[in-house]
Amino acid sequence: MKYYIVGAGEFAQEKFKPEKDDVVIAADAGVAYAGARADIAVGDWDSLRRIPQDVKTVTLPVEKDFTDTGEAVNIALARGAEEIVMFGAGGGRADHYLANLQYLAMLADGGVRASMVCPDCTIFAMAAGERDFAGRGRIISLIPVRERVTVSISGVKYPLKKHLMPADNPGLGVSNVIEENSARVVVHEGVVLVIVND
Query: In the predicted model, what is the mean pLDDT of residues 164-174?
Result: 85
| Together in a domain, 27 and 98 | yes
| Together in a domain, 9 and 45 | yes
| Together in a domain, 35 and 101 | yes
Q: What domain count does the chain have?
A: 2
pLDDT interval class at 180 (50, 70, 90): very high
Q: What is the pLDDT of residue 108?
A: 97
Query: In the predicted model, what is the mean pLDDT of residues 164-192?
Result: 93
Question: Residue 115: which of 81, 148, 147, 146 has the closest Cα?
Answer: 81
8-state DSSP, 114: E
Q: What is the pLDDT of residue 122?
A: 97
Q: Report whether pLDDT(189) > 90.
A: yes
3-state secondary structure 129-185: EEEEEECCCCEEEEEECCCCCEEEEECECCCEEEEECCCCCHHHHCCEEECCCEEEE
Q: Please compute Rg for the chain using Cα positions.
A: 17
% of the chain beyond a pLDDT of 70: 99
| Together in a domain, 21 and 71 | yes
68-78 vs 94-109: helix axis angle to the nearest 10? 20
Query: In the predicted model, what is the mean pLDDT of residues 42-57?
Result: 91
Which residue among 79, 96, 119 closes a domain?
119
| Together in a domain, 103 and 38 | yes
What CATH code is carried by the domain that includes residue 153? 2.60.120.320
Query: In the predicted model, what is the mean pLDDT of residues 14-19?
Result: 95
| Together in a domain, 11 and 40 | yes
Q: Report whether pLDDT(91) > 80.
A: no
Which residue among 99, 119, 139 closes a domain?
119
Q: What is the pLDDT of residue 168?
A: 78
Which residue among 64, 96, 119 closes a domain?
119
Element (H, E) at 97: helix 94-109
| Together in a domain, 44 and 65 | yes
What CATH code is carried by the domain that includes residue 41? 3.40.50.10240
pLDDT interval class at 9 (50, 70, 90): confident
Please provide the DSSP assignment of 14-82 as one string. GG----TT-EEEEEGGGHHHHGGG-SEEEE--TTT-S--SSSEEEE--SS-SS-HHHHHHHHHHHTT-S
What are the two backbone dihedrals, phi and then psi, of residue 96, each rounded to the nearest 5 degrees? -65, -40
| Together in a domain, 71 and 167 | no
Identify the domain containing residue 95 by its residue range: 3-119
Q: What is the largest CA-CA distance in the chain?
A: 52
Sheet-wide strand order for 129-134: 129-134, 182-189, 150-154, 160-164
Query: Does a structural domain hold residue 124?
Result: no
- CA distance linking residue 40 with residue 31, whole number of Å: 9
% of the chain beyond a pLDDT of 90: 83
Q: Report whether pLDDT(39) > 80.
A: yes
Q: What is the pLDDT of residue 10?
A: 87
| Together in a domain, 53 and 146 | no
| Together in a domain, 64 and 7 | yes
pLDDT interval class at 90 (50, 70, 90): confident
Q: What is the pLDDT of residue 171?
A: 86
Q: What is the pLDDT of residue 76?
A: 98
| Together in a domain, 111 and 138 | no
Q: Report whether pLDDT(169) > 90.
A: no
| Together in a domain, 65 and 139 | no
